[in-house]
Chain A
């Protein structure tokens, strides 16, 4: 999945989609994930990076990542598989 290139993300986790005028907020972990997506990290690389940095088990992370990715798609912020 790729984040839409036009979506802007700032250091506070504030997202703005200039094509729709919609804005969103995300927490710091969400911001890191989107930042990695913008850096073209794939889902395996993102999962590894989060597992390494945070005290979270694989199952919980997987469940939350699926939720997060589906939310990005729902709000039309990401496209692709």
Chain B
């Protein structure tokens, strides 16, 4: 049963080797038998593949990076809203979430819904604050320290053993085996994502992830666990398989109950050979592998849309273990006219 056509704007259309979640989020929404939608893609770059992929967006617009200033950013969103009468925006980048969370009330005043964590929820799970988060909510996390300057490396390394992980505050993580490597990664990450850079204990084990959706009252609406089967040199899952791991589900449900998380989230964990679970990161949004969850039986993007629009969504208890995804590259052909339109008019 389909109701009013919803106009949904989605970011993260960069379906590259470091993919944004926009395209799989849209695929999930389009798979819904209950939602009738018009999808408006919001892109930061003119070559984001999702702009050009057939059947993904109905219309795409270029938007400025949030770093260009909140006013400039919001003016562009509202300009697009005037043309498209947006009902909902689903932001999919860590780096834009702060701006969207801060602007949620303003957007709601214009009739645009979001379904995001609160600023407090967003900030307390940041990589730099992970040790405090672990202590507060009783989950095991690897020891980590913020690195503001290269000069701090020798002092901090007295408390760590090699190898260590050097991580950016939003993205990127490298394993370092020597002080020189830490220094090199520190500069590389700081120039791209800013400070602080995070130094983290390297936990040996299997990388397992959970995609989950909290409704803001403490209820876990959906939760699907996955083991990475193949990881790219950028640390991204190129292949993964759903697993049935009651402990991971329990950790997820407890965290969502305690934090009253609102929105999509990804928990990144390491399972050690002695079956201990270390939470290494919480991404405050739907991850790029979410279409695996859709295929396994939990359409999280659809559920997020419904929650954002005030509809009832029953708790999804089950999914199929053993569902796999394998990413692939595909040379899509376009026309210079498309490129011209997105460049000249900022829309396609």
- Give the interface of A toward B (CB within 8 A): 6, 8, 16, 18-21
Closest CB of chain B to A75's CB: distance in Å? 12
> B321 near A: Cβ within 8 Å?
yes
Let me know if B124 is at the binding interface, CB within 8 A. Answer: no
Residue among A6, A8, A16, A18 with the highest chain B CB neighbour number at 10 A: A18
Which of A6, A16, A20 counts the most chain B CB atoms within 10 A?
A20
Interface SS majority for chain B: strand
Q: Identify 23 residue pairs between A and B in the complex whose beta-carbon atoms are under 8 Å apart, listed by A's number.
A: A6-B244, A8-B322, A16-B322, A18-B243, A18-B244, A18-B321, A18-B322, A19-B243, A19-B244, A19-B245, A19-B321, A20-B206, A20-B227, A20-B243, A20-B245, A21-B226, A21-B227, A21-B229, A21-B241, A21-B242, A21-B243, A21-B321, A21-B322
- SS of A interface (majority): loop
Known: A16-B322, A20-B243, A20-B245. 12 other contacts (CB 8 A): A6-B244, A8-B322, A18-B244, A19-B243, A19-B244, A20-B206, A20-B227, A21-B226, A21-B241, A21-B243, A21-B321, A21-B322
For A16, the closest partner residue in chain B by CB is: B322
With CB as the reference atom, state the residue of chain B lying closest to A6.
Answer: B244
User: Nearest Cβ distance between residue A7 and chain B, in whole angstroms?
Assistant: 12
When C-beta atoms are compared, the residue in chain B nearest to A8 turns out to be B322
| Chain B residue with Cβ nearest A22 | B227
| Residues of B that sit less than 8 Å from A by CB | 206, 226-227, 229, 241-245, 321-322
Give the docked Cα–Cα distance between A19 and B247 (Å). Answer: 10
* Set of chain A residues within 8 Å of B245, measured between Cβ atoms: 19-20
* Chain A residues with CB below 8 A from B322, complex form: 8, 16, 18, 21
A16 to B323, CA, bound (A): 11
What's the nearest-Cβ distance from chain A to residue B6, in Å?
Answer: 35
- Kindly provide the distance from the CB of B205 to the nearest chain A CB, expressed in whole angstroms: 11
Cα distance, A47 to B281, chains bound together (Å) = 48
Nearest CB of chain B from residue A55's CB, rounded to whole Å: 37
Q: What is the minimal beta-carbon distance from A25 to any residue of chain B, in angstroms?
A: 15
- Bound CA–CA A21/B322 (angstroms): 7
Which residues on A sit within 8 Å (CB–CB) of B206?
A: 20
| Residue among B206, B226, B229, B322 facing the most chain A CB atoms (10 A cut-off) | B322
Closest 5 CB pairs of A and B: A18-B321, A21-B227, A21-B241, A21-B243, A18-B244
B225 to chain A, nearest CB (A): 9
Cα A70 to Cα B226 with chains together (Å): 27
Closest to B247 in A: A19
A14: shortest Cβ distance to chain B, in Å?
11
CA distance A6 to B246 in the complex (A): 12
